[in-house]
C-alpha cells in the first residue's frame, strides 16, 4: 500500500487526485492540507482521513511516502522541493514551476534526494493520444511535416473552486495565464506525439478579453499563439485561449507525408486517419475531458504503479522540463518580438 498526502483541496484535487487515489486499491490517503481550513476539514471528513494544520506537519509525517501538490502555480516549486527534501515522492500539478530556474531546481531536488518527481500532464494518457502515439511510431501517416493543436475554453473563472477570487488571474499567484493553464498541455503533447523537441518558437501572447471588476485587463495572458519549429524541421501552430464562449476546443491535427491524423476533431470518432490514397481509418476511442465533464485522468493509477514497482515515471520532472523550456521560450518570444531558439 502506498501512503499519500494531498496539499491543496481545490478543484483538481476534488475532481481527480482524491477520487482517483480513493479508487486505487494500492493507495491510501493518509491526510490532506489546504490554506482554506474549512475546505481541508470537509475534504478530510469526506475521505475519512486526517486534516493537517500545516503543509510542514503533513511533510513531517513519516507514514506518508508520496505527496500530490494541487495548489496555485507560484507555490509548486517550494512545496515540491520541501516534500522531496522530506523524503517524499512528488506528483506536482502543471505548470511544473513559474520560472525555468524553479523547474531545474525541482529536477535537481528529486535527483539529490533520490525520489521520483512526476508532473500531471494528463493529456498524454488519454486513450486517443496513446493510440495516436502508437500509430505515429509505426509511420501511419509517414513523416510529420506540420501540425496544428489548440485548447480553448471560457476561462478558469468557470472552473476554480473559488470563482469569486480567481487566483488564475493574479500575477503573483499564477505568474502565467492561459499559456500555463492550457498552452502547456498542448506544447507537451506535440513533443510527446512527434517524439521531437521544440527547437524554436515565435509567439504572440497577450490579454485580449478578460477584465477585472474595475474594467482593466487582467494581469496575465488570456490568449497565446505560438509557431513551434521542431528539431527535425517540422513546423506547426499551438493556440490556447480563455475566450472561447462556445463549446470547448481541444484538438490536434498532424499532417504527414502519407496522410493526415485528426485527434478529437470529430465527436463520434476521436481518431481519424485520412491517407494519401483515399483510405479512411476511424477509431472510436474516448471523448476528451471538458471542464463540465470530468472523466478519470489515469494519472494517479500511473503514478501509484511507478511507486509500487519503483519505476521512474515517464512524465518525470526531467522529461517535462523540455516542455517548460518551450513555454518560457514562447513567453520570451512574445515579450521581445523575436524568434527564440531553444538550446
Residues binding ligand NAD (CB under 6 A): 7-13, 33-36, 39, 55, 70-73, 75, 93-94, 120, 122, 159-162, 167, 181
Query: Smallest distance, Å, CB 38 to ligand NAD?
Result: 10
Query: Smallest distance, Å, CB 61 to ligand NAD?
Result: 16
Q: From the CA atom positions of the chain, what is the Rg in Å? A: 20
Closest CA to 248 of 272, 267, 220, 224: 267
What separation in angstroms does the CA of 242 have from each of 140, 155, 180?
A: 33, 4, 12
Contact status, residue 285 vs residue 128, Cβ threshold 8 Å: yes
Q: Which is nearer to ligand NAD, 189 or 230 (CB)?
A: 189
Query: Smallest distance, Å, CB 255 to ligand NAD?
Result: 26
Query: Smallest distance, Å, CB 224 to ligand NAD?
Result: 15
Q: What does DSSP say about strands 198-206 and 223-230: parallel, antiparallel, or unpaired?
A: antiparallel
Query: Smallest distance, Å, CB 280 to ligand NAD?
Result: 31
- What's the rounded Cα separation, in Å, for the pair 142 and 257? 5
- Residue 190: how many CA atoms within 13 Å on its side-chain side? 38
Q: Which is nearer to ligand NAD, 39 or 115 (CB)?
A: 39
Give me the residues paired with residue 217 across strands: 211
Q: Which is nearer to ligand NAD, 39 or 210 (CB)?
A: 39
Q: What does DSSP say about strands 50-51 and 340-341: parallel, antiparallel, or unpaired?
A: unpaired
- Size of the chain, expressed as the number of residues it contains: 343
**CB within 8 Å of 159: residues ≥ 6 apart:** 11, 291
Q: Give the position of cell 482517483.
A: 20
The CB-nearest residue to ligand NAD is: 10
Contact status, residue 123 vs residue 251, Cβ threshold 8 Å: no
Query: Smallest distance, Å, CB 257 to ligand NAD?
Result: 32
Query: Smallest distance, Å, CB 11 to ligand NAD?
Result: 3
In the 8-state DSSP scheme, what is residue 72?
-
Q: Which is nearer to ligand NAD, 220 or 272 (CB)?
A: 220
Q: Which is nearer to ligand NAD, 129 or 273 (CB)?
A: 129
Closest CA to 273 of 143, 101, 135: 135
Q: Which is nearer to ligand NAD, 8 or 155 (CB)?
A: 8
Query: Smallest distance, Å, CB 333 to ligand NAD?
Result: 22
Q: Which is nearer to ligand NAD, 232 or 290 (CB)?
A: 290
Question: 213: which 3 cell numbers?
Answer: 471588476
Q: Which is nearer to ligand NAD, 14 or 202 (CB)?
A: 14
Amino acid at each position: 500500500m502506498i501512503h499519500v498526502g494531498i496539499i491543496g483541496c481545490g478543484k483538481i484535487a476534488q475532481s481527480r487526485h482524491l477520487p482517483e487515489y480513493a479508487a486505487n486499491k494500492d493507495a491510501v490517503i493518509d491526510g490532506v492540507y489546504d490554506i482554506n481550513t474549512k475546505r481541508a476539514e470537509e475534504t478530510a471528513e469526506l475521505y475519512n482521513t486526517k486534516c493537517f494544520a500545516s503543509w510542514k506537519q503533513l511533510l513531517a509525517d513519516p507514514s506518508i511516502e508520496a505527496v500530490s501538490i494541487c495548489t496555485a502555480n507560484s507555490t509548486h516549486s517550494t512545496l515540491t522541493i520541501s516534500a522531496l527534501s522530506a523524503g517524499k515522492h512528488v506528483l506536482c500539478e502543471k505548470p511544473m514551476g513559474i520560472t525555468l530556474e524553479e523547474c531545474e531546481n525541482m529536477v535537481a531536488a528529486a535527483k539529490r534526494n533520490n525520489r521520483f518527481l512526476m508532473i500531471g500532464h494528463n493529456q498524454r494518457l488519454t486513450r486517443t493520444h496513446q493510440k495516436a502515439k502508437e500509430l505515429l511510431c509505426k509511420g501511419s501517416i509517414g513523416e510529420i511535416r506540420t501540425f496544428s493543436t489548440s485548447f480553448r475554453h471560457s476561462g478558469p473563472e468557470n472552473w476554480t473552486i473559488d470563482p469569486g477570487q480567481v487566483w488564475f488571474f493574479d500575477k503573483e499567484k499564477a505568474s502565467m495565464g492561459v499559456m500555463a493553464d492550457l498552452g502547456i498541455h498542448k506544447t507537451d503533447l506535440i513533443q510527446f506525439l512527434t517524439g521531437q523537441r521544440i527547437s524554436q518558437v515565435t509567439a504572440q501572447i497577450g490579454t485580449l478579453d478578460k477584465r477585472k471588476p474595475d474594467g482593466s485587463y487582467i494581469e496575465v495572458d488570456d490568449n497565446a499563439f505560438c509557431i513551434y519549429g521542431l528539431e527535425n524541421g517540422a513546423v506547426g501552430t499551438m493556440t490556447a485561449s480563455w475566450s472561447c464562449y462556445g463549446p470547448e476546443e481541444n484538438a490536434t491535427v498532424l499532417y504527414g507525408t502519407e496522410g493526415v491524423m485528426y485527434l478529437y476533431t470529430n465527436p463520434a470518432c476521436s481518431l481519424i486517419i485520412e491517407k494519401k490514397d483515399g483510405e479512411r481509418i476511424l477509431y472510436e476511442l474516448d471523448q476528451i475531458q471538458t471542464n463540465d465533464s470530468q472523466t478519470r485522468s489515469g494519472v494517479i493509477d500511473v503514478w501509484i504503479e511507478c511507486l509500487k514497482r519503483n519505476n521512474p515515471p515517464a512524465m518525470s520532472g526531467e522529461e517535462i522540463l523540455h516542455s517548460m523550456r518551450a513555454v518560457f521560450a514562447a513567453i520570451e518570444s512574445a515579450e521581445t518580438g523575436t524568434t527564440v531558439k531553444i538550446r
